[in-house]
């Protein structure tokens, strides 16, 4: 039922410096085999950590009341963020989680364990999760009628309103300081690249797009919708809200990883050894194990394009000097293995026939 094209994928040409393959949107290789993503890359430059300390000193309360909010998905980056805010900055946060129905059981256990150990209250906002899952079902079924790599992010549209929701929570609790942990190495330009939108190499934020590129992305979606009218379904309103929340809502959160270097070894050491984090039995990585959609969308990217967001993360680690290419390549082949149980859970959750979806993927031409 599941497809494993790893042996074919191993034959795809890759950048001589990083791991990006020739199937990456907008990729170009020079005569040395190095890609334009590597040539344009600028290493992460951190801000003065004293600025972060000064912020903490300014907002810290001595009466035990919460002095800040931590945006907390329960994933490894936000979990390390929570650890840092409490243990290093000595602040008293509350955490905010936007639950749209796709948090895994292991992810929820890890998140709750972190909050219990640190003695932190957790706010979980559930905005009609059953309706959002029904929206996902509608889009997955529409996608199967005309598979398109550019439209895969529609499956994750339900979680994008967290930027809008955090502003509401901040006002309700009269807390002005919000911390977020956005890993600067998690750039996934290929997701919009499959829509014909070129990468924004100079972007300060990993999710930012210029106005022109936003319009191009909207144009691609609208054109695709008219080609496949099944997308004109119950999810339309939620999809539009997701887009404008993700790309247009003003964000004033303090990103911890602009001051603290993201290092996978440090993050995993803290979470696994200090907080007893659980891993997903199906994989060795700690990334995305709390996100119930990741196993499915990465399966699509891997099967049809020969790479996933794991390849882009590892490539950025290579560029940062955190890992050598040989080790990174071995890791992506391990990271990209099919997570069958996770995918079964996903399809049961949204109520879609998994075999039908896998058949649609199998019948779709690959990019290699």
Q: What is the pLDDT of residues 313-328, one digit of tens each?
A: 999 999 999 999 999 9
User: Quick one: 118 exposed, middle or buried, by C-beta within 10 A (0-12, 13-18, 19+)?
Assistant: middle
Question: Which sign does the torsion angle of CA 134, 138, 141, 144 carry?
Answer: negative
49-53, 97-101, 332-336: which has the minimum mean pLDDT?
97-101
Q: Using DSSP, state whether 329 is helix, strand or coil.
A: helix
Name the phi and psi angles at 293, rounded to 5: -90, -20
Q: pLDDT (tens digit, 9 = 90+) per residue, 57-108?
A: 999 998 888 999 999 999 999 999 999 999 999 999 999 998 888 999 999 9
123 DSSP β-pair partners: 96
CA-to-CA separations, 205 to 151, 157, 187, 214, 257, in angstroms, rounded:
22, 19, 9, 15, 11
Question: For residues 67 and 60, is the Cβ–Cβ distance under 8 A?
Answer: yes
CATH class of 6-362: alpha beta
**For the chain, domain boundaries:** 6-362
Structure tokens at 178: 């919000």
Which of helix, strand or coil describes residue 241? helix
Q: What's the CA gap between 51 and 225, in Å, rounded?
A: 46
Cα Rg of the chain (Å, integer) = 20
The rounded percent of the chain whose pLDDT value lies above 90 is: 81
d(C-alpha 291, C-alpha 267), whole Å: 18
More reliable by pLDDT, 236 or 275? 275
What DSSP state is assigned to residue 251? -
Q: Measuring CA to CA, how many Å separate 184 from each of 9, 225, 258, 288, 316? A: 27, 32, 8, 15, 9
The Cα–Cα gap between 314 and 334 comes to 12
pLDDT score of 204: 59
- pTM as predicted: 0.93
Query: Span 13-40, mean pLDDT?
Result: 98
Strands, E assignment, 144-301: 178-180, 254-255
Q: In what order do the strands lie in the sheet with 122-126?
A: 122-126, 93-99, 68-71, 178-180, 254-255
**What stretch of H or E contains 296?**
helix 294-305
How deeply is 57 buried, as exposed, middle or buried, from its count of CB atoms within 10 A (0-12, 13-18, 19+)?
Answer: exposed
Residue 328 burial class via C-beta count within 10 angstroms: exposed 0-12, middle 13-18, buried 19 and up: buried
179-231 pLDDT, tens digit per residue, is 999 999 999 999 999 999 999 887 655 566 888 998 999 999 999 999 999 99
26's torsion region: left (phi>0), alpha (psi -120 to 50) or beta? left
Region for residue 90 given its phi and psi (left: phi exceeds 0; alpha: psi -120 to 50; beta: otherwise): left
pLDDT 10s digits, 283-310: 989 999 999 999 999 999 999 999 999 9
């Amino acid at each position: 039922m599941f497809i494993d094209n790893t042996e074919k994928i191993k034959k795809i040409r890759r950048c001589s410096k990083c791991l990006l393959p020739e199937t990456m949107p907008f990729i170009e290789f020079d005569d040395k085999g190095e890609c334009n993503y590597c040539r344009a890359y600028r290493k992460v430059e951190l801000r003065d950590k004293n600025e972060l300390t000064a912020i903490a000193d300014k907002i810290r309360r001595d009466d035990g009341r919460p002095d800040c909010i931590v945006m907390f998905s329960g994933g490894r980056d936000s979990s390390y963020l929570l650890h840092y805010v409490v243990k290093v900055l000595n602040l008293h946060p509350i955490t905010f989680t936007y639950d749209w129905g796709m948090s895994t059981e292991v992810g929820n256990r890890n998140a709750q364990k972190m909050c219990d150990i640190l003695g932190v209250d957790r706010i979980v906002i559930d905005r009609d999760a059953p309706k959002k899952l029904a929206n996902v079902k509608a889009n997955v079924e529409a996608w199967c009628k005309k598979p398109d790599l550019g439209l895969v992010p529609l499956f994750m549209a339900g979680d994008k309103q967290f930027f809008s929701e955090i502003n509401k929570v901040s006002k309700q609790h009269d807390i002005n300081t919000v911390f977020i942990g956005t890993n600067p190495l998690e750039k996934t330009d290929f997701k919009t690249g499959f829509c014909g939108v070129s990468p924004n190499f100079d972007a300060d934020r990993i999710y930012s797009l210029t106005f022109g590129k936003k319009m191009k992305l909207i144009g691609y979606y609208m054109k695709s919708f008219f080609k496949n009218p099944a997308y004109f379904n119950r999810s339309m309103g939620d999809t539009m809200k997701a887009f404008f929340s993700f790309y247009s809502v003003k964000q004033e959160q303090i990103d911890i990883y602009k001051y603290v270097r993201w290092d996978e070894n440090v993050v995993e050491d803290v979470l696994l050894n200090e907080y007893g984090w659980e891993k997903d039995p199906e994989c060795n990585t700690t990334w995305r194990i709390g996100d119930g959609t990741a196993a499915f969308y990465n399966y699509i990217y891997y099967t049809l394009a020969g790479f996933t967001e794991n390849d882009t993360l590892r490539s950025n680690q290579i560029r940062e000097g955190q890992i050598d290419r040989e080790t990174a390549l071995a890791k992506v082949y391990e990271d990209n293995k099919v997570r069958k149980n996770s995918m079964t859970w996903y399809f049961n959750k949204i109520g879609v026939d998994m075999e039908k979806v896998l058949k649609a993927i199998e019948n779709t031409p690959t990019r290699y």
